[in-house]
Structure 1
Amino acid sequence: MAVVAAAVCPHPPIIVPELASGAAPELEPLRAACRTALDALSSATSIVVVGSGPASATYAADAGGSFGPYGAPDVRIGSGPRVLPLSLTVGGWLLEQSKSAELPRSYLAVPTGETPARCLEIGHELAAGNERIGLLVMGDGSARRSDHAPVHLHPRAEIFDTTVAKAFQDVDLDVLAALDPDLAAVLQAAGRAPWQVLAGALAGTTLDADLLYDAAPYGVGYFVASFT
């Protein structure tokens, strides 16, 4: 079994305290849950950070990412060019706050609109080797959970997110694999493709799950789950 642990985390920029301003204290439970999930990746020998992006791409450990576009130009990760999309930039930042920070890492961007079949295939490919891999899978749930959400409330948003949360808790890979990309696009659920990569990577494993966080504090579904 190549995948020995996995973590699911969201990627809102405001998870970074310098960007959260007055909301920083109320987001500490979310950050704490992420740290717990990422600490569990320390049993791996290397980590692959998977997140959505505008195109399929892989990046080395030194790839750079910046929070400058979100108002924190002094907060960045990596020593290389600032090429990482937001999901992977947040993933790298979270890793640097955890016990898994010193492990070798790489980054994988999956197109937001990638087909479920290809996402599952990517997951199978990640799990095909003999190395003990830890996966950090970045993705937000629906951005239409309330009238105060980035996009106006959608009646199917909460049902979609509840389905995803239960699938994480139950390690129900079939449910994750069956998530409808068209519905996810309508609900602006950025995690759909990375979650389906996770479903492919965990196929055939016997990892247990712990759903550490499930809330929509700003009308966007945030999940943190640990698979060990």
Structure 2
Amino acid sequence: MPVVAAAVCPHPPLLVPEVASGAASELDDLRAACLAAVESLATAAHVVVIGAGSPRTYEAEAGGAFVAYGAPGVRVGSGPAVLPLSLAIGGWLLEQTKAAQLPRTYRAILADTAPDLCVQLGREIADSNDRVGLLVMGDGSARRSEHSPVHLHPRAEIFDTTVANALQHRDLDVLKALDPDLADELQAAGRAPWQVLAGALEGTSLSGDLTYEAAPYGVGYFVASFS
């Protein structure tokens, strides 16, 4: 059965209020948009979370922790803390919503995975017998301003605008055509997960709704729902 719902979210650790501490309110709008998008996955029978990391599949009990980000009391899952940041944030978002009750699987994919392999993985996920809800975790360019984690790049904003428009208009061809070399240069961690999304949506009639687009810390963040 094809994917019945999908959500796209970024994965800054500051989404977790205990990590952001006194600055938590700065991302209130982003956090609210992410939670609303993830809530829409509750119509599925199984959630698959996709994010950048060493290639591996993790089961629902896999743990994620935020000790390295100053929040030792926050974790997800019941097992050892093995999830990479992208999937740990995805798990944390799920656990704040009704979708927390659903079975879930985590899939990590290398950030430099070739586009055709990303698309093929999306097709394989969509070939499940379950009603799949897909949670796609990925940041845009980390080079949007002089105060970004890496210095401003002249193509960063154009790249992010292209991604935002493709998500809004469900332009799968544009997502599939994102250049992995340019994405690497711009430090856009979401390129591979977004191309998994493109493959997974091929057999569906889901339409996109971009609900957040900004670069509050010089990193492009997008939130979108597909229903």
Task: State the Cα deviation string for residues 156-202 of structure 1 (Å, max 9, x = none).
Answer: 00000000000000000000000000000000000000000000000
Matched, 1:50 2:50: yes
The match for 1:190 is 189
Cα distance in 2 for residues equivalent to 1:125 and 1:204 = 11
| Stretch deviating more after TM superposition (200-209 or 171-180) | 200-209
Q: Percent identity between the aligned chains?
A: 69
- Kindly provide the amino acid, as one letter, of the partner of residue 125 in structure 2: L
Q: Is the partner of 1:165 in helix, strand or coil?
A: helix
Poorly superposed stretches of 4+, deviation over 3 Å: none
Cα distance in 1 for residues equivalent to 2:3 and 2:10 = 20
Give the TM-score normalised by the residue count of structure 1: 0.98
Cα distance in 2 for residues equivalent to 1:43 and 1:144 = 36
Structure 2: 5+ residue stretches without partners: none
Task: State the Cα deviation string for residues 12-55 of structure 1 (Å, max 9, x = none).
Answer: 001111111222112111011011101111110010000000x2
Cα distance in 1 for residues equivalent to 2:211 and 2:201 = 19
The match for 1:221 is 220
- Kindly provide the amino acid, as one letter, of the partner of residue 134 in structure 1: G
- After superposition, residues 67-216 of structure 1 pair within 5 angstroms as 67-216=66-215
Matched, 1:33 2:33: yes
Cα distance in 2 for residues equivalent to 1:50 and 1:150 = 23
Q: Is the partner of 2:133 in helix, strand or coil?
A: strand
Q: How much does 1:67 deviate?
A: 0.4
- Kindly provide the amino acid, as one letter, of the partner of residue 113 in structure 1: D
Structure 1: 5+ residue stretches without partners: none
How many residues get paired?
227
Question: 8 Å contact 2:7–2:134 — kept in the other structure?
Answer: yes
RMSD: 0.7
Task: State the Cα deviation string for residues 84-110 of structure 1 (Å, max 9, x = none).
Answer: 000000000000111211111010000
- Kindly provide the amino acid, as one letter, of the partner of residue 48 in structure 1: V
Give the TM-score normalised by the residue count of structure 2: 0.99
Q: How much does 1:71 deviate?
A: 1.1
Q: Is the partner of 1:176 in helix, strand or coil?
A: helix
Q: Is the partner of 1:100 in helix, strand or coil?
A: helix
| Stretch deviating more after TM superposition (132-141 or 92-101) | 92-101
Q: Is the partner of 1:225 in helix, strand or coil?
A: strand
The match for 2:23 is 23
Matched, 1:12 2:12: yes
Q: Is the partner of 2:100 in helix, strand or coil?
A: coil
Cα distance in 2 for residues equivalent to 1:129 and 1:73 = 36
Q: How much does 1:130 deviate?
A: 2.5
Cα distance in 1 for residues equivalent to 2:107 and 2:38 = 17
